[in-house]
Chain A
Amino acid sequence: MFFENKFSGNSRVLGNFGQEKIRHSTFCIIGLGGTGGFALESLVRMGAERFILFDHDRFELGNFNRQLLATDATLDKKKTNVAIARARSINEKIKIKKSGKFDSMKANVIADADIVIDATDNLATKFEIANLCRKVNVPYIFCSAQGSRGIVSVFSNYSFEKAFQVDKWKLSSKSCSSVLCPVASLAGSLAAAEAVNIILKKPVVRAPEALFFDIFDRRLFWKGRLG
């Protein structure tokens, strides 16, 4: 009853069938900071009800400039717990299949998802998650935000190493710059939009192509090739 009342605006765009497909799909979001927080918010408001959520961290002062879920009330709280509470404050029917800290042994958990949104902030972890997704054949959405720029791309069969021309042994697990809020918000929302497009079998920007954006660039958005 409440679902239809709350999210009827979606059905008018997606149709009831589209809305039900989103509602019953399982979205895995890894990283619930800047981009992940906005991705979760968008999906919940799009009517998604099933999630697998991973983050090992707690909210800290340095998150306030860009992370939707970082507030005085959530400071020092676990990001997964805050994210679940936020999602359930929008839709009390949200089901969390699994949450907590992500580790690479969790390939079986990823296999339960229909889509994985990788909102982590370093390339070494992204490499690991992308390979796990490829192994278990779950579409992987790469999203990255740095400074004023962002990238979003969907990987299904294309190899992550090839796209980024990386040697996994040389990857740093350290990210190196901060992100502006509109950039995190755009990257997260675009990742959520691509997740919905996959579920609804609509066209997506697939690797090696990617959607690039820069809030300080006059073009704002453009499509290009990774690697």
Chain B
Amino acid sequence: MRDFYTIEPCATSNAFEIKFKKETKINLERAAGALKALGEILGQTTVVIFLKSDNFSVSIYASGRVVMKNIDREDASRIANLIADALEKGGAFF
């Protein structure tokens, strides 16, 4: 796991939130481009992107919140890494 975020279980079951250690906002235009390789973007508004792959779904909010759903703890860390990496490489953080 990279060191600029942590993963925390959400109140609802089978969901985890990626929490960035520094206050981070996400440029959703860039995030959409960066995340295309991970799954299908089912919806995008000015505040959220909803992405779905075979194994998980993820909501990425402009405020910097990233919530992964339908996922177990073992997969959460690997997928969080993929998402964080893609967002970072795609220059989506600001």
Contact = CB atoms under 8 A, between A and B. Distances in A.
Q: Do A and B come from one complex?
A: yes
Interface of A: 58, 60-62, 72, 75-76, 121-122, 174-178
Given A58-B63, A76-B63, A177 B45 contact: no
Given A61-B50, A62-B15, A72-B45, A174 B9 contact: yes
Contacts of B48: 60-61, 75-76
Interface of B: 9, 11-13, 15, 45, 47-48, 50, 59, 61-63, 65, 67, 69
A75 B48 CA distance: 8
B11 A76 contact: no
A189 B9 CA distance: 29
A75 B59 CA distance: 11
8 contacts: A58-B61, A60-B61, A61-B48, A62-B59, A62-B69, A75-B47, A76-B65, A174-B9
A111 B61 CA distance: 36
The 4 A-B residue pairs with the shortest CB-CB distance in the complex, in nearest-first order: A76-B47, A76-B61, A76-B63, A175-B11
A76 B64 CA distance: 9
A58 B64 CA distance: 11
Contacts of A61: 48, 50, 59
B67 A76 contact: no
Contacts of A121: 11
A43 to B, nearest CB: 24
A206 B47 CA distance: 43
A33 B69 CA distance: 19
A72 B61 CA distance: 13
A175 B12 contact: yes
B39 to A, nearest CB: 16
A174 B11 contact: yes
A76 B28 CA distance: 13
B45 A58 contact: no
A62 B65 CA distance: 13
- Interface-centre pick from A60, A122, A174 (highest chain B CB count, 10 A): A60
Contact of A76 (B12, B15, B50, B62): B62
Contact of B59 (A60, A122, A178): A60
Given A60-B67, A61-B50, 9 more contacts: A62-B12, A62-B15, A76-B61, A76-B62, A122-B11, A174-B11, A175-B11, A177-B13, A178-B12
A76 B67 CA distance: 12
A31 B59 CA distance: 22
A119 to B, nearest CB: 12
B76 to A, nearest CB: 14
Contacts of B11: 121-122, 174-175
A159 B84 CA distance: 45
Of A58, A76, A122, A176, most buried by chain B (CB within 10 Å of CB) is: A76
